[in-house]
Every structure is written in C-alpha cells, then in structure tokens.
Amino acid sequence: MRICEYGCKREATFLLKFKTTDDKWCCEDRYTKCPGNRKKYGSPGSENPMFGKKHSENTKKKIAQSKIGHTPWNKDLKNCHNEEALKKISEKGKGKIPWNKGKTGVYTDETLEQMSKQRKGRIPWNKGNISLSGKSKVKSKVEPITIFIDGIVECEYGCGKEAKHQFKNGKWCCSDHVNKCIKLKSVNDNRIRKFSDEVRKKISESHKGNNYWLGKKHSEESKRKIGDKSRGRKHSEESKRKIRMNNRSEERKIDIETIRKKYPTFSKIEEIRYNPDKPEDKEIQVHCKNHKCPNSKERNGWFTSTGGKLSGRIFAIEKENGNDGAYLYCSDECKKECPLYGLNPIHIINQDNSKEYYTVEEYTTWRNEVLKRANNICEYCGQPVEHIHHIKPQKLEPFFSLDPDYGLACCETCHYKYGHKNECSTSQLAQIICI
C-alpha cells in the first residue's frame, strides 16, 4: 500500500505530476485537499486561522518589502502549465469583473512612473508581426532576401508579381504601398471578416461607457497633424455611392404611386405631386400648413418637402400611436406664424394653454353622430365624407364644439371652399382682439 507523501499517512491513490518538481503520490486528486498539507500550511475556509481577518497596513508593508528582489518561480519559464491547468484558469476567470474596469485615475503618478520604467527594454510580444493593415511595426534588422528570376525582382510579399518598388525596410513589392499587394490584401480581408456576430456584440458592449475623450479636445498641433495626414486622400467609388445614398440619392427616393398604395390615409389627407419644373428628378411637393403662406393649399401653392418631414407626417397619420400632427411647413417663419404649430390636433388647446375643449372619446362620439346624420355623404355635393367641419369656430364659441347640430359633414374640397375661406378663416377670427 502506498502512503501519502504529504504527511497524512493515508493510502495514496493519485499520482500528482509536476513539471518543475518530482511526481508525488497523494490521497486526494489535489495536494491542497490533503489533511496533512492543510494542517501544515493552513486549511481553507473557516478552518483557516486567518479566515475573516485582514492584514494591518504595517504588515502589508512588511510583506511587500520582503518580496522585493524575490524571483517568481515561473519567471522566464514557458509552457509551465499544462492544457488542463490553462483551461481551469480560463474558466475560473470567466465572469469576473476586473477591479479597475471603467475606473480612471486609480494609479498615482509615482506608480505610473514605476510601471513605465519596468517596461523599458522589454520586447513587445507582437514586435515584428505584420498588423491587420499590412504594415510592419518595426524595421527588420535582418538583411532582406531579394529573389531574382531571370533578372527580374519578384515581390517579397508572396504574390509572385514583378517588384517595382523598394520600401525603407529593404523589401521589394509590386505596388507602391504594401496594402495594395494582392497577397496581403486578401489576407487582410480574411482577417477583418473573422469576427463573428457574437464577438462583435461583446466588443460593442465592452466599449460602452468609455468616456475617455468626453470633454477633451485635440490640441492645435494634433489637429495640424491629422489635417496633414488626411490631405490628398480621396473617397473610393463605393464610398461615394454610400454618401449619395445617405444624401437622398436615387436608391432611397420613393415615388407617389408607392405612397398612395402603401399609405392610403395619408394620400387622402395630404395632396402630393411631382415638381413640374423637374419632372425627371421626381421631387415630391406638398402644401404648407400655414394658411397665410403662398405655398399653402388655400392659396394653391406647393413646395418641395424633405424625406424626414414626409416620414414624420406619414407616421403621425398612419400609425396607431400617431397624433395626426407633424404638419408640413416650408420654413421656420411659417411654423411661428401658424396657430396650429405645437398644438395637439386631438386635444385642441385654447390660447392661454390652460384647458382642453374636449377629450378624444367626446370628439369620437360627436363625429360619429354627425356622420350618422349625414349618412357618410357630403352635405354640399354628395361625395363621400372626409372631414367634419365646426360651423361655429371652436376658439370663439367652445361651448358649441360638441353640439352635433353645429357639425357639418363634408368632403375635402367643400371643407376648404365653404368652411375655410381666405377672407374669413377660423384662425383669422381667433386672432381678432375685441377692444
């Protein structure tokens, strides 16, 4: 019977192998679980006499001083851990948040200076490796080997073409820049596409909250260097195409037929047409909501709207959570002049912005009563009903705003023809101040 070599005198059933010391037999699969070893070096958990206690500052200082000049056991050793141990170390570290993650200013100036001194003279692990951009980070100290085939210098980056340019590191290439070499270009493309969606998501999440540049600005010297570096560069054809798409290019435009088919309610409320001066561009024109504007419907005017304004108006009309707002205006002056700008179309608010004329439920009930009385037919021309007109203006006589006798069912043409005339519109009446 083999006896445990760690002093517990129990039967040894496991042979523990080490790379730096001789193999030993133990009663457990790990020597830290052996009772003899725990008795000698202290047991983990509550059995440890130091459990729940902390070192004093004086003790910490003494421990730090005692370790000065101490050489770690694994210094300059390579592959000192087997694959199983590396896997356990990796799994143990998963999910742990580094103590300094997201923190700034955790090191003092003295500590940073010491860390800088320690790094001096060290050779980076990636020194001499070709980066993703294809550039060599350091100059090679080895004399380059130039390949001659029948008196022709071959590209030293592996594409097999004739070399025409020599770089500062002594290598010959087929192009004036290493990134343009077909061999490295294909390698770089594969490297760039190697990240999966999951990895990209993790990278994106890790960058969240990184506010290092928040509130900081480049110095004049940095701005000058950035400008000098960017000077002379040109966009590729693919970049130009993407820029055109973002600037309302032909690929992003939508025609009137599609709008009428996809958004029927919007097409009934808003009149749209193509700009007659530019029929080939298919610019969509609409009416300005301000009745005093020359581009308004009351004055038979038109203006070219942006895609963002059209999208906002369509959303306000077509979507369930829309409020029938986001009216179309040709300028900021028209917004300021129009009395409807900034007001909720359903909850019509009076001039002092202190109360509502009616709720949504009350307005729906009043509208249904008027439609039922008119049998959904315009009371002027007999066409299908599109609007409900208040005979008595709401702003002047709000008490009659929910009386069905003062509601008139009409089509869009008759509504603006008989209900909102230029010489006597509701907005103009509401702005009259009695003295």
Residues 366 and 326 grouped into a single domain = no
Please check whether residues 329 and 391 belong to one and the same domain.
no
Pair 382, 421 in one domain: yes
333 and 298 housed in the same domain: yes
pTM, full prediction: 0.29
* Residue 261, domain member (yes or no): yes
For residue 172, what are the β-bridge partners? Answer: 166
Kindly report which listed range (7-11, 60-64, 202-206, 346-350) carries the lowest average pLDDT score.
346-350
Query: 149 phi and psi, to 5 degrees?
Result: -125, 110
Per the listing, tokens 């439609």 go with 371
Please check whether residues 324 and 390 belong to one and the same domain. Answer: no
Residue 93 lies in a domain: no
pLDDT given at position 134 = 44
284-319 pLDDT tens trace: 899 998 888 999 988 889 998 888 888 888 888 887
**pLDDT tens for each residue of 133-175:** 444 444 444 344 444 445 577 888 888 888 888 888 888 888 8
Please check the confidence at residue 81 and state whether its pLDDT lies above 50: yes
Question: Torsions phi, psi of 389, nearest 5?
Answer: -105, 135
d(CA 427, CA 291): 9
Are 312 and 384 found together in one domain? Answer: no
260 with 326, same domain: the answer is yes
Q: Which residue has the higher pLDDT, 11 or 251?
A: 11
124 occurs within a structural domain: no
Amino acid 287: pLDDT: 92
Considering its fold, how many domains does the chain have in total?
4
- pLDDT at res. 320: 66
- The pLDDT of 122-137, averaged and rounded, is 57
pLDDT category at 354 given cuts 50, 70, 90 is very low
Q: Which pLDDT belongs to residue 46?
A: 47
Q: How confident is the model at residue 20 (pLDDT cuts 50, 70, 90)?
A: low
Average pLDDT over residues 184-202: 68
| 306/369 same-domain check | no
- Helix, coil or strand: residue 268: helix
Ramachandran area for residue 151 (φ above 0: left; ψ -120 to 50: alpha; else beta): left
80 belongs to a structural domain? no
151 or 67: whose pLDDT is higher? 67
| 78 inside domain | no
* Mean pLDDT in residue range 401-426: 75
Structural domain span for residue 389 = 360-430
Residue 274 placed within a domain: yes
- Could you tell me if residue 220 is inside a domain? no
In the chain, the percentage of residues whose pLDDT exceeds 90 is 2
| Most confident residue range from 67-76, 320-329, 371-380 | 371-380
Residues 365, 320 share a domain = no
Average pLDDT over residues 196-205: 82
- Angle ∠(19,25,27) on CA atoms, nearest 5: 125
Residue 119 lies in a domain: no
What does residue 315 show for φ and ψ, rounded to 5 degrees?
A: -60, -40
Residues 327 and 364 in one domain: no
DSSP class per residue in 24-43? EEESSSSGGG-HHHHHHH--
Mean pLDDT of the chain: 76
Q: Is the pLDDT of residue 197 over 50?
A: yes
| 325 C-beta neighbours (distance < 10 Å), count | 17
Percent of the chain scored above 70 by pLDDT? 77
Instruction: Please tell me whether residues 271 and 306 are part of one structural domain.
Output: yes
Residue ending a domain, choose from 153, 187, 221: 187
Residues 366, 333 share a domain: no
Domain stops at, among 151, 170, 187: 187
The answer on pLDDT for 187 being more than 80 is: no
